[in-house]
Structure 1
Amino acid sequence: MKVTLEELKKYRTQGNPKGITSVCSAHPLVLKAALRLGRDHQSSVLIEATCNQVNHQGGYTGMKPDDFAHLVFSLAKTEQCPEDLITLGGDHLGPNPWKHLSANEAMDEAEKMVIAYIKAGFRKIHIDTSMGCKGEPPALDDQIVSQRAVRLIQAAEKVAADSDKKKPLYIIGTEVPPPGGADHVITSLEPTKAEAAAQTLKIHQDALCAIGLEDVTHRLLGLVVQPGVEYGNWDIVYYDREKARSLSNSLDTESNLVFEAHSTDYQGVHYLSQLVEDGYAILKVGPELTFAVRECLFALDHIASEVFSDYSYRYLQNGLENLMLAKPNYWNSHYHGNAHECYLLRHYSLSDRIRYYWADPKANEYVQTLLSKIKGATVPAPLMMQYLPGAEHFSKKSFDPEEVIIWYVQKVLKSYHKACHLD
């Protein structure tokens, strides 16, 4: 069932809430899994790139917005997913990648990034200017956040008009979880206060109207709030709908909005369904999907170690360990503890910072060596039962490891699809 972003508000007000999964990943196998699921169910495929991952300077993937869009639509053609099912989004678009610079310098770069996203055809734009820059406090007040957000929206509107693009749909909000999840122990979270959410919305609406962008207020698709869900390295805080009841009920007076929930990874169907029913219609997921890729690859690494006498024991995992130690910048400020604790975090943390390494040529070499070794082999069913329970059916035919990984990722995506009430 295809549900568009604009229709989410209608379904909620009609008492038949539906949701859309926001797939926040640049991993080709994750993208293939999402596009294939959209094709098979004829449902919307919302794929988002984050500011650190993809920007006008390349981001950690080395891709600019045009490159990312080309990747998605090339894969869509391969997977025979109709383009009209696909929406591209930009996540956390703001100064975050350049917050070590002065505010003026960081915002100049953020503006260039937003312009690049719009020119590349991204339509759903999450504006996040909540972080402080050099010399500023880590979190800023709503007035400063709204002023900076409006600057980026103004730039996006001008580019969209000049290039005859569809008018963008915007997500705003100041209570934004950190991209990629928390990096500290968490046991509980307080949901956003309903009054704070209302104030954030009003301040942004007033700021837009003050510069003649009233039309944009009708394209404010949703508000990022904290419903009380998060994950850390080892911990998951599950949704408590009673604790968030006041916030959820506040949507009753805002018929033109839905809430966007970040860091919904690892919640599972039960809690995801409750989130959708309570008005959190856009569910963002990213690390759980690449965590699934990593789980499956490590399992295949074990299987190859057992099946092939000339395959080094845990070749892929050991290679990645060496790579992460040689290039620690993506994990060393996030993982803390003794040597063994940091080892465990590098490979198994729920925040899955190993995902930053998949685009590295050396990591790609390790993966391709594994996939080439096991492709077409006969894998005994008991080994699949041992390392990938439920995947035994793949042992009955010529083994295709990419198909196994896509199947494994789709297990996560199907839980989101079910929670969004799209069947």
Structure 2
Amino acid sequence: MNNNASLSPIQQVVAAHRRGEAAGLYSVCCSHPTVLRAAMRVAASYGSVLLVEATSNQVDQFGGYTGMTPQVFRDYVHQLAREQGFPLEQLVLGGDHLGPNAWQGLDAASAMQHAETLIAAYVAAGFHKIHLDCSMRCADDPSYLSDEIIAERSARLCTVAEQAAQQAGLPPPVYVIGTEVPIPGGEANLAQAGAVTSPVAARRTLDVHCKAFLDRKLNAAWRRVIAMVVQPGVDFDHSHIQHYDAAQAAELSDFIAGQPGIVFEAHSTDYQQEAALHRMVRDHFAILKVGPAATFALREGLMALCRIEEELVPAGQASRLMQVLDEAMQAEPRHWHKHYPGSIAEQRLLRRYGLSDRCRYYWGEPQVAAAVEKLCANLDAREIPLALLSQHLPEQYLEVLQGQLATTTSALLEHKVGRILGQYARACCRNAADSEAAAAGSAAAIC
């Protein structure tokens, strides 16, 4: 959709994909510093653009659940990049589910006013990729929200975004649209997941949004719509994974192949097999979102370190991290309670091991952060025996043996997360031959 000779890094990748290259983008939807450092190491290793996205739940004009406004989040990510020596020109910030999501309990007029402030704050802070998501009902909306209402509200927010970029002297944003949007934060039950979007529905989404944009004289902005969110038939809940089936998505893939300059954005691609990620990019689901799978790997790494700590550190000096985490989750259950059904024992298991990884909301709690710091200090002050690494972190153990990885807790954790993110980087490689070769030999370390 963009004929401009001066393209942003995001637009360059989309243009390469539309030229037939095996090019895609992976979007890291996370604010945890370990995950972001791992993401930067992966992107540096593969020479890829790093797209980091904040959601409207995480970051908003009031701070969101992270306590960060868009400007604070930008400064935080940029500081991590400077510390890592990661070039800022390879880093792109995006805003996910930007709209009235956080204010669904208000009437539409009030919710949309908040959404306008939200969009303006994101764009003014330099967030370049903007997902316009007005698919959720507000308190006084009808039971069914039509595509026309969703599109009109999205165009309204686009107007605000365009003005904010101009006033800030920033390049105009690129946009993602779509009405078949997965629930922010993941499904409570995979039975609620939607079927593969039909080409008819995708065509209608594109048409109604085009009309809404053009009605508001947003012709230039419409040319910067790079993607639309659809349901490709992938999802997950706390215990199950819906895997990609290329045959079921074939008609949808064929549809977008006929739409110049635009690709699909696939949410909830966490836990897909790497081969499936390659197929999704090939089938024009060229923007892959990942979040919970990365923090799930982080939690696995921290739990493994806790097991090592139990062997090396006297009980009275240990961090008790996993107990502290569960106590914090029980004290403030709002982030997990509606997602984790069952008995007390079943909920306890899901709090710790659920694929939706609701514990990711609690790493910033002061008592949990202090326990993580104590765990890392305890282990960094000691030499971790190779036998314990082999038992509890076997993949990292192999890299340590080869002299490719340090045994500091930060290095071990970043490597653990990096192995997940590396799958996405390989799936999005611009050279198809290199991409397939990398996938075939992907057991090697990248951090």
Q: Tell me the TM-score normalized by structure 1.
A: 0.96
Deviations 1:173-211 (A, max 9, x none): 000011122111449752101111111111111111111
CA distance in 2 between partners of 1:316 and 1:182 (Å): 27
1:295 CA displacement: 0.6
- Aligned ranges 1:14-29 → 2 under 5 Å: 14-29=19-34
Please tell me the residue identity of whatever aligns with 1:417: A
Deviations 1:322-357 (A, max 9, x none): 111111111112211100011011111111110101
Q: 1:279 to 1:371 in 2, by over 3 A?
A: same
Residue among 142, 150, 167 paired with 1:145: 150
Please tell me the residue identity of whatever aligns with 2:254: N
CA contact (8 A) 2:318 2:375 kept: no
Aligned residue number for residue 309 of structure 1: 314
Please tell me the residue identity of whatever aligns with 1:76: A
CA distance in 1 between partners of 2:129 and 2:193 (Å): 30
Aligned residue number for residue 68 of structure 1: 73
Deviations 1:87-113 (A, max 9, x none): 000000011111111111111111111
Aligned residue number for residue 207 of structure 2: 202
1:35 CA displacement: 1.3
- Percent identity over paired residues: 40
Cα RMSD (Å): 1.9
Asked if 1:412 corresponds to 2:420, the answer is: yes
CA distance in 2 between partners of 1:12 and 1:341 (Å): 44
Q: 1:318 to 1:260 in 2, by over 3 A?
A: same
Residue among 221, 243, 246 paired with 1:241: 246
Residue among 56, 81, 89 paired with 1:84: 89
CA distance in 1 between partners of 2:59 and 2:382 (Å): 36
SS at match of 2:94: strand
Please tell me the residue identity of whatever aligns with 1:400: T
Q: Tell me the TM-score normalized by structure 2.
A: 0.91
Aligned residue number for residue 346 of structure 2: 341
1:39 CA displacement: 2.3
1:314 CA displacement: 7.3
Aligned residue number for residue 403 of structure 1: 411
1:24 CA displacement: 0.3
Please tell me the residue identity of whatever aligns with 2:180: E
Please tell me the residue identity of whatever aligns with 1:412: I
1:129 CA displacement: 0.4
Deviations 1:285-325 (A, max 9, x none): 00001111111001101110111124567710011111111
- Aligned ranges 1:19-418 → 2 under 5 Å: 19-136=24-141, 140-186=145-191, 190-311=195-316, 315-392=320-397, 393-394=399-400, 399-418=407-426
Please tell me the residue identity of whatever aligns with 2:138: C
1:421 CA displacement: 2.4
Q: 1:398 to 1:198 in 2, by over 3 A?
A: closer
Please tell me the residue identity of whatever aligns with 1:386: Q
CA distance in 1 between partners of 2:336 and 2:71 (Å): 28
CA contact (8 A) 2:26 2:425 kept: yes
CA contact (8 A) 2:265 2:287 kept: yes
CA distance in 1 between partners of 2:36 and 2:163 (Å): 30
Please tell me the residue identity of whatever aligns with 1:410: G
Query: Structure 1: where are the runs of 5+ without partners?
Result: none
SS at match of 1:111: helix
1:136 CA displacement: 3.1
SS at match of 2:410: helix
Q: 1:398 to 1:201 in 2, by over 3 A?
A: closer
1:284 CA displacement: 0.3
CA contact (8 A) 2:319 2:374 kept: no
Aligned residue number for residue 17 of structure 2: 12
CA distance in 1 between partners of 2:142 and 2:270 (Å): 28
1:138 CA displacement: 6.2
CA distance in 2 between partners of 1:198 and 1:232 (Å): 28
Please tell me the residue identity of whatever aligns with 2:72: D
- More divergent stretch after superposition (177-186 vs 21-30): 177-186
1:409 CA displacement: 0.6
Query: Structure 2: where are the runs of 5+ without partners?
Result: 1-7, 435-447
CA contact (8 A) 1:305 1:312 kept: no
CA contact (8 A) 1:66 1:120 kept: yes
SS at match of 2:394: coil
Please tell me the residue identity of whatever aligns with 2:94: G
CA contact (8 A) 2:319 2:375 kept: no
CA distance in 1 between partners of 2:190 and 2:162 (Å): 40
